[in-house]
Amino acid sequence: MLKTNNIDTSLIMPDEKSLLELAFCLQSTLDIQNILQLFVNYLTKKISVEHVGYMMPEKKVAFSQGEETQYYFHQDLYHNDKNLGQLVLGSNNIFTEDDRNTIKNSLVALLYPINNAINYLNAVEASLLDPLTCVGNKKAFNTTLHNELSLSQRHEHPLSMLALDLDNFKLINDTYGHATGDSILILFTQNIKNCVRKTDQIFRIGGEEFIVLLRNTNKQGAQKLAERIKNTIATEKINDNDNIIAITTSIGVASATLNDTEKSFYMRADKALYQAKAEGRNCIAS
C-alpha cells in the first residue's frame, strides 16, 4: 500500500529534479489514460516496461496498453487513505529490487494527478445525475441519446425508447405532500431498475417523467418490457400514515428509424405517452 500526504519541495536534490518535472507534467491533464501514458513514458527511460494497466472498478475505469508480458508489478494506489485504484506494470524482464524502488519512488508524482482526475470524474458524474433518484438527468439523456442514435443508425442495430409518466402524480403531491411524492418517485425508479437490463439506461427528464433507452431492442421487445414495468408498478401499494396509495404508470413506446433525428425519435415516444394517458392511464401506447 503506497500512501502520501504532501510532496515537500523545499529541499530538492538533483535526483529529485526529474520527479518534480514529472509531477508538473502529469498535472497538465485530467484524463487518466493520458496521465498513465506520460507516466510510462517517464518510467521506460529508467526501467523496462512493455505493459501498463489501471483499474478502478468503482468508477468503471479500466485502461490497458501493450502486449502481455512475463512479469507483472501490481501496486494499489492510495492518497490520504482514499483508494485510487490499482496500477499494473508488465515487463519481459524480471523486476529487480532496484526496479521496484524506482517505480515506488516515481509513484509519488502519480498520486496527485490520479486523485485530481478521479475528482474530475466525480464532478462530471454529479452534473449528469438526478440527485433524488440517482439516475441520469436531462443533460445526460440528451448526450446519451445522441450517441446511441448515431451508433444505432451507423450499424443498423435496433434502438427503442420508453417514455414513462407516473399517473396523477400532482394529485399525490397535493394530497400527501412532496416528501411522500419524493418517496414514491424513488420507489418508482427502483421498480424500473428491477425490470430492465444492465445495458438499458434510465433518465429522469422532468418532475415525474422518465425515459428508458433500450439498446439492441426492437419495438416488440420494448413493448414486452413496458408491459412488465407497468404490471410491476401496479402491484405497489405505499403506506403513508395509514393511507394506502396505489400508483400506476403510462408508457409510450418508440423504435428508432434510419431517418430519425434525436428530436423526432423522442417526440414519437412522447406522443405515444400522451396517447396512453388519453386512453385512460395505466396503459401502453406506441
Domain 138-285, CATH among 3.90.650.10, 3.30.70.270, 3.30.365.10, 3.40.50.11540: 3.30.70.270
pLDDT score for 174: 92
CATH class of the domain defined by 14-127: alpha beta
Evaluate if pTM is beyond 0.75. Answer: no
The whole-angstrom separation of Cα 114 and Cα 53 is 14
* Cα distance between residue 164 and residue 272, in whole Å: 10
Helix H or strand E segment including 243 = strand 243-246
Q: What is the pLDDT of residue 73?
A: 94
**pLDDT higher than threshold 90 for residue 4:** no
Cell of residue 80, nine digits:
490520504
Dihedral in degrees, nearest 10, Cα atoms 7, 9, 11, 12: 100
Looking at the predicted structure, is the pLDDT value of residue 39 above 80?
Answer: yes
**Which residues are marked as active site?**
208
pLDDT > 90 in the chain, percent? 76
The pLDDT score that the predictor gives to residue 189 is 97
Convert the pLDDT of each residue in 100-154 to its tens digit: 999 999 998 999 999 999 999 888 888 999 999 999 999 999 999 999 999 999 9
Q: What local confidence, expressed as pLDDT, does residue 15 receive?
A: 58
The residue among 11, 65, 6, 71 whose CA lies nearest residue 36 is: 65
Average pLDDT of the chain? 90
pLDDT digits (tens, 9 = 90+) for 188-209: 999 999 999 989 999 999 999 9
Domain positions in the chain: 14-127, 138-285
Of the listed ranges 54-68, 127-141, 178-192, 235-249, the least confidently predicted one is 54-68
